[in-house]
Structure 1
Amino acid sequence: MSKPIYTPILNAKQGEFDALDHIRTETNKAIFPLFELPIFSDEFLKRKKYENEPTPKRLFVADTLSKIISARSNEPFMLDIFKWSPDSTLESGEHVLNFSYNYLASRNANVTTVVGYDRWEDIQYVKALESIRVKSDSFCIRLESYAFEDMYDEDHFSEILHDILDTLQLTPSKCHVILDLGDVSSTSVVEICEKVERAYGLIRPLGFTRVSMAGCSLTSFITDMVPEQDSSEVILRREYVAWKSLRNTADIGFGDYGVVSPNSAEIRTPHANGKIRYTISDNYFVARGHSRMHGNKGAQMYDLSETVISSGFYLGSSFSWGDRRIEDCANRLLKGSLKDWVAIDTSHHIQFATMSVLEFEKQLLLNRTTARL
């Protein structure tokens, strides 16, 4: 597989699937998404679909995986059980990671299994990965918070990384690496660059050639970004600005968390504020409403859509499916649930992020070509 243009880390949920169902063909081929499998919580047991089901967890995971296959078709993607305990099993006792891989592979899905550095100490997790390695050589090593802490002790970090490579018999040049900074909403661009530069300097000599970085500047609570109800703010996309700075000297790909913070709660609250997260150059334009239980409730999305369209940032209904839905909302043709607005915002974001990275790469190549003349 050639190097992807953009690596979004996405929840494997309906909103994200809806966005991918309406993605442009050329954009779909340019991305290499990492899907995080949602956990099966006790809340799901209250739903009619699962209340009399003998293996509800297995059914939930299988349903989610089938939706990933539908969203990606034959295109490649990564799968991670990051939100699950690393020793998680289904009702049968089968490890959730083994079941997931076997389910996807039996349906010819183009899946890459994610290896979590932070979870490597769990023996059941390692054994699950070893079982997958017998059948596949497509892996991605995800370096997260503990990994970045361990990098200050280079010998310790190197020991764990080599243990991963040796245990799974991975060839660095064939293995993708994601430098995942997670929530960077309170991290300066300079600090992001320093962390990534340190990590890149440690792993590059080992032969890794497919390296991406990822982070998220959006917070889990809208009040942290837009303090006042029924107002808007411009939020810096710190991970993207840092990537552009780093890309000038490092062969590193770009990734982020779409429009959903990695710290967002799994269960949605009915009092959630209406909001639209509209990705723009180097920033997000975030329009905030108020509690969907108060005032004009869901109808507030009409006003928020008008705010986006009149902001000067709106790119028109032809830019993406999400942009078209924003215009439909402004024309009072839809209100949309929280899930619908994740889909709408994600649709615009993926299209904008992919095009932005592609244009930056083209300009970088042009500048380097010109400099050699």
Structure 2
Amino acid sequence: MSKPKYIPILNAKQGEFDALTHIKPQTNGAIFPLFELPVFSDELLKRKKYENEPMPKRLYLTDTLGKISAVRGSQPLMIDIFKWSPDSTIESGEHILNFSYNYLVSRGARVTTVVGYDRWEDIEYVKALEAIRLRSDSFCLRLESYAFEDMYDGEHFEEVVTEILETLQLNPKKCNVILDLGDVSNTSVVDICEKVEMANRLLLPFQFDHISMSGCSLTSFITDMVPEPDTNEVILRREYVAWKSLRDSMDIGFSDYGVVNPNSAEIRTPHANGKIRYTIPDNYFVARGHSRMHGNKGAQMYDLSQAVIDSGHYLLPPFSWGDGRIDDCANRKMKGNLKDWVAIDTSHHLQFVTMSVTEFERELLVRNEEEHS
């Protein structure tokens, strides 16, 4: 497979789908999104849609997978069930990973299946992967917290990776790897670089096709980034700054979590603060409002949109669909709910990061050519 410009790890939810629906074709062709399937919660089960449904989990997955298929079409994508128990099944007993893969492929999707290092000890998960392997050789190894812990015992780590490759009969030269550092909001850029360098050193002998690094600098709670209501802060995108530092000496791809922290709770509350997370060079400009139950409630988004426009960072409506919606909001043509603002923030983020990574790679290529000429 060709090396992607950028791998966004996205929740398979409506906000993210809306952002992808309005993505520019060139950007759409440059990204290789990894969709994390949200769990089917007890809260969802209470919805009227599933009230008399004999197979609610299957219906829920069918709806979600159908939306993934719709927004990606024939463009490549990855799926992962990280948030589910690794032995999860639908009502018929079919493993959800098999069901999801089969559903997407039946609709013409180009699917790469994610293999979770941290879930490898679950026998049912391994069997599900083996079943997919009979139909596909497109896999991505995702290395998360357990893997990074194991790396301090390099020999053990290499044994597990070898076991994964041999069990699934995978050629590493056809496989991607994501070094997923998760929430890096409290991790220094130096520490991020050290972890990635350690991982890369251990993985080099395997000759994987493509290795990317991922992380998220946005916290789960807006109060941790912007302590005071109705104020703004600039938050360092540590994963991106680390990637640029490493990219000079290492063939490493870039990945992140868009604008949603990987540990964000699924709980919805009417007291959620209004906020806009606007991606800028090396940072996020984060505009925080106040509880949507107080003061001007949802209308606070007019002021937050104007704060983004007045920040000196705003890139005007043509830049992305999300930028256009910020302009609409500042002009009081829309307010939007929480889901809408995930879509708006994600739309700008996908466009900005793809553009930034592409430009950085171009500059690096020019610099290298000048040094060797």
**Which TM-score applies when normalising by structure 2?**
0.99
Whole-angstrom CA distance in 2 between matches of 1:177 and 1:314: 34
Counterpart in 1 of 2:94?
94
Counterpart in 1 of 2:83?
83
Report the CA distance between 1:108 and its aligned residue. Answer: 1.5
Provide structure 2 residue ranges, at least 5 long, that are not aligned to the other structure.
none
Report the CA distance between 1:209 and its aligned residue. Answer: 2.6
Contact 2:73 2:108 in 1 (8 A): no
1:292-339 per-residue CA deviation (whole Å, 9 max, x = no partner) reads 111111000000000000000000011000000000000000000000
Following superposition of structure 1 onto structure 2, how do residues 120-135 of structure 1 map, counting pairs within 5 Å?
Answer: 120-135=120-135
Contact 2:9 2:255 in 1 (8 A): yes
Provide structure 1 residue ranges, at least 5 long, that are not aligned to the other structure.
none
Whole-angstrom CA distance in 2 between matches of 1:248 and 1:32: 22
2:245 counterpart of 1:222: no
2:285 counterpart of 1:318: no
Whole-angstrom CA distance in 1 between matches of 2:105 and 2:372: 46
**Which TM-score applies when normalising by structure 1?**
0.99
Whole-angstrom CA distance in 2 between matches of 1:210 and 1:50: 41
Whole-angstrom CA distance in 2 between matches of 1:73 and 1:38: 20
Contact 2:16 2:343 in 1 (8 A): yes
Give the AA of the match of 2:23. I
Report SS of the residue matched to 1:318: helix
Q: After TM superposition, where is structure 1 displaced by more than 4 Å over at least 4 residues in a row? A: none
Following superposition of structure 1 onto structure 2, how do residues 191-340 of structure 1 map, counting pairs within 5 Å?
Answer: 191-340=191-340
Whole-angstrom CA distance in 2 between matches of 1:29 and 1:163: 33
Whole-angstrom CA distance in 1 between matches of 2:134 and 2:116: 18
Identity of aligned residues (%): 76
Report SS of the residue matched to 1:241: helix
Report SS of the residue matched to 1:294: coil
Count of equivalent residues? 373
Counterpart in 2 of 1:171?
171
Report the CA distance between 1:267 and its aligned residue. Answer: 2.5
Counterpart in 1 of 2:11?
11
Give the AA of the match of 1:108. G
1:76-99 per-residue CA deviation (whole Å, 9 max, x = no partner) reads 000000000000011111110011
Give the AA of the match of 1:83. K
Counterpart in 1 of 2:159?
159
Report the CA distance between 1:74 and its aligned residue. Answer: 0.5
1:51-104 per-residue CA deviation (whole Å, 9 max, x = no partner) reads 111100000001100000001010000000000000001111111001101111
Report the CA distance between 1:204 and its aligned residue. Answer: 1.4
Give the AA of the match of 1:31. I
Give the AA of the match of 1:270. P
1:267-293 per-residue CA deviation (whole Å, 9 max, x = no partner) reads 221111000000000000000000111
Whole-angstrom CA distance in 1 between matches of 2:371 and 2:41: 56
Whole-angstrom CA distance in 1 between matches of 2:174 and 2:41: 35
1:87-140 per-residue CA deviation (whole Å, 9 max, x = no partner) reads 001111111001101111111211100000000000000000000001111100
2:367 counterpart of 1:361: no
Give the AA of the match of 1:290. H
Counterpart in 1 of 2:346?
346
* RMSD of aligned alpha carbons: 0.5
Give the AA of the match of 1:14. Q
Report the CA distance between 1:33 and its aligned residue. Answer: 0.4
Counterpart in 2 of 1:138?
138
Whole-angstrom CA distance in 2 between matches of 1:6 and 1:229: 33
2:23 counterpart of 1:49: no
Give the AA of the match of 1:127. K
1:218-249 per-residue CA deviation (whole Å, 9 max, x = no partner) reads 00000000000000000000000000000001
